[in-house]
Structure 1
Amino acid sequence: MTGLVVPAAARVLSARELRALAEVAERERLGWNANDMSLDEEVLFFLLPYSYEAQPMPLWKCRVIAVSGGLPVEIGEGKRIRFGRLDVSLTTFRRLPVASRKAERQLLHWLAWEAAVASWRSVDEDR
């Protein structure tokens, strides 16, 4: 398989850090779309790079994944996950804190659950 190797580790951000990156994206005329996600302090944000661009500057196009309530999961409480997009310069991206292995695993489980729920809804709607 050929192509650009994207960074393996997801980055994790606070609402304050995401707001600062969004302001830079708007000022630099880079891509940013929050898709109605909340920028509350109780939300944990992950950045997952998916595509490299060299123009207007070297940057990563990233999927923003917002998880309400952070990492702790209370029994019986579901997570609300929202998705957005943000372009981040390579130098800024490298400086962002890397998500712990535990956080990445938990994110994977949440995303798998969201995919399963979406699939079940699709099957129910087809009946």
Structure 2
Amino acid sequence: MDLIITSKSAEQHLVDILGGKRSNWFPLKLRSQVPVYIENEQSQSIICDYIRGILNKIKTQLTFNDEVEFFCGCLLPEAISHGISELQGLSWQEAEDVFLQGHIYHASEVEEFNRRIAREMEKSPQQESR
């Protein structure tokens, strides 16, 4: 988590995604199970605030219907995969493979995680319409 937040390349990567750089996570692919690497609510809050800050300050041409789904299904996996790539010295594809093979949670756990992120996002000032 610290690497994702302190690394300027992680931020630039997310800015590039919002700017239209190809992402394997967007358009969103519905999954019943997704890997989640965030260990506790404090860490979750920190990483969500960080990514939300990027999302709030960058205009994007990407269109999405559900901001939470876009956040959880695209930006979060991109950030975590980027962190894995830097931390372990892996290629982007290898990092995505590690991410996808990571911890698997039941769909109900993923739904609870999404609800928590939705609550966190509701706490922030409303963004302009995309």
TM over 0.5: no
Tell me which protein shows more helix as a share of its residues.
Answer: 2
Using the size of structure 2 for normalisation, the TM-score is 0.31
Tell me which protein shows more strand as a share of its residues.
Answer: 1
Using the size of structure 1 for normalisation, the TM-score is 0.32
**Structure ranking higher on relative contact order (CA contacts 8 Å, 6+ apart):** 2
